[in-house]
Amino acid sequence: MKSQRVIDRLSPLWLGIGISGSLLLLMFLIEMVTGRWAGLLTGGEFDPLARVSEGMLRDTRIAIIHCLVIGYLPAALIYAMRSGRRTVLELQKVLACTPEECEALAKTVRLGTGNLVIIGLAALFVALLIPYIVPPVPEAPWNPANWSPEVAWARILGPFTMVLAWWLGYAIISVSLRMSRIAKSLATIDLLDLSPLAPFTQQGHTNALLLIGSLSIWSLMLIETGFGKLMLVIGGATLAGTVFALLAPVYGVHRRIRKSKAEALAWVNAELAAEQPAFLAPKAGQESGRMSDLVAYRGVVESVHEWPFTLSTYTRVALYLLLPIITWSVGLVAEELLGRVF
């Protein structure tokens, strides 16, 4: 419990900046102390005096990407869990629960230790296979004797990034499914005002942004040769996960809206059927205003969207999907500019 309180006080933003910044600073300090900085400035060309090898600049860029990812993933993981708990608390009115009951319900948004271990081991196994998949495949890639200082960063951080990436995926799946199940506890659904259900949609937005944010950093790998097929797999899995992460939190709400809509239409149609004889054969002095009201109400109910998405939802997702493309483009421009400078 004490460790959980410490985690809850951490700022995801500063945690990510602190991890990535510290690793990047350490990496460049090592490069300068070992005299390999000259190799970076000459584009990684072979230089016996600087003791660098061909491809040094490529290995350095890959190491930098790993440093960025290793900071982003734990920050995103913590933010995903906090966002799920915050969503539950924001739903207090529609859940019709006391603050204490909602607080207890929010604490059920958690990750199973056993699942984390199993998923971590599976991710570690996949991470160990990556050097054998990405060309050029080095000889004995896990033998430290074959590592340059730049390659060492990717080899050491690679397994950690894979485990954290899978844990982030597990966290988002877990939070999404929990939100969907919580929708069963909604006291009522007001078809004329779905705004109280906005936290479910917002959770989907958060999930999608966290996944695409990870893909945005990984997309920098496309600047390097040999990562095309791997990034195709990562990109496809991330985009599929993004669709799931966007829809899953609101699926339970979708079912409740559909059920409430069907019940409302059944009621209004029954009332219309009861009013129809009087409407077709009106008596003197009898008003038929209720019939008009019922028809208008039915039209309103029929127009209610069963998925609580608006135009802004689709706009946001479209903008999110542009992030990896923008990041990749910025990376290309930066590489070109640095190449001209050095």
Among the residues of 96-148, which ranges form H helices?
A: 99-106, 113-129
Could you tell me which residues come within 8 angstroms of residue 71 by beta carbon, excluding any fewer than 6 positions away?
A: 15, 16, 17, 18, 19, 20, 21, 23
Residue 26 domain-assigned (yes or no): yes
Q: Indicate the range of 88-102, 106-120, 196-210, 279-293 predicted with least confidence.
A: 279-293
pLDDT tens digit string along 228-254? 788 888 888 888 998 999 999 999 999
String of DSSP letters for 276-329: HHHHHSPPTT---HHHHHHHHHHHHHHTS-SS---HHHHHHHHHHHHHHHHHHH
Question: How far is the C-alpha of 265 from the C-alpha of 298, rounded, in Å?
Answer: 6
- The first and second tokens of residue 278, run together, are 């009087």
* Bond before 136 cis per omega within 30 degrees: yes
The pLDDT of residue 230: 80
Range of the domain at 81: 2-276+287-341
Residue 282 domain-assigned (yes or no): no
Place of tokens 């990896």: 324
Question: How far is the C-alpha of 55 from the C-alpha of 66, rounded, in Å?
Answer: 17
Is the pTM above the cut of 0.75?
yes
Q: How far is residue 171 from each of residues 12, 105, 253, measured CA to CA in Å?
A: 15, 17, 20
The pLDDT of residue 3: 44
Q: Kindly state the DSSP code that residue 46 receives in the 8-state scheme.
A: -
Determine the Cα angle at 59 with ends 53 and 126, to 5°. Answer: 130
Nearest to 28 by CA among 72, 67, 79, 2: 67
Q: Report the chain's mean pLDDT, rounded to a whole number.
A: 83
pLDDT tens digit string along 282-321? 665 555 667 888 889 999 999 999 998 877 777 887 787 7
User: 99-106 and 56-90 helices cross at what angle (nearest 10)?
Assistant: 150
The phi and psi torsions of 47 (rounded to 5 degrees) equal: -145, 105
Highest-scoring range by mean pLDDT, 141-155, 169-183, 274-288 = 169-183
Nearest to 182 by CA among 79, 109, 263, 260: 109
Nearest to 131 by CA among 119, 139, 120: 139
Residue 220 domain-assigned (yes or no): yes
Question: How far is the C-alpha of 331 from the C-alpha of 64, rounded, in Å?
Answer: 12
pLDDT tens digit string along 14-30? 999 999 999 999 998 98
Residue 33 domain-assigned (yes or no): yes
User: In the chain, how many domains are there?
Assistant: 1
> Mean pLDDT throughout 92-101?
84
pLDDT tens digit string along 203-219? 999 999 999 999 889 88
Q: Kindly state the DSSP code that residue 187 receives in the 8-state scheme.
A: S
Residue 281 domain-assigned (yes or no): no
Residue 215 domain-assigned (yes or no): yes
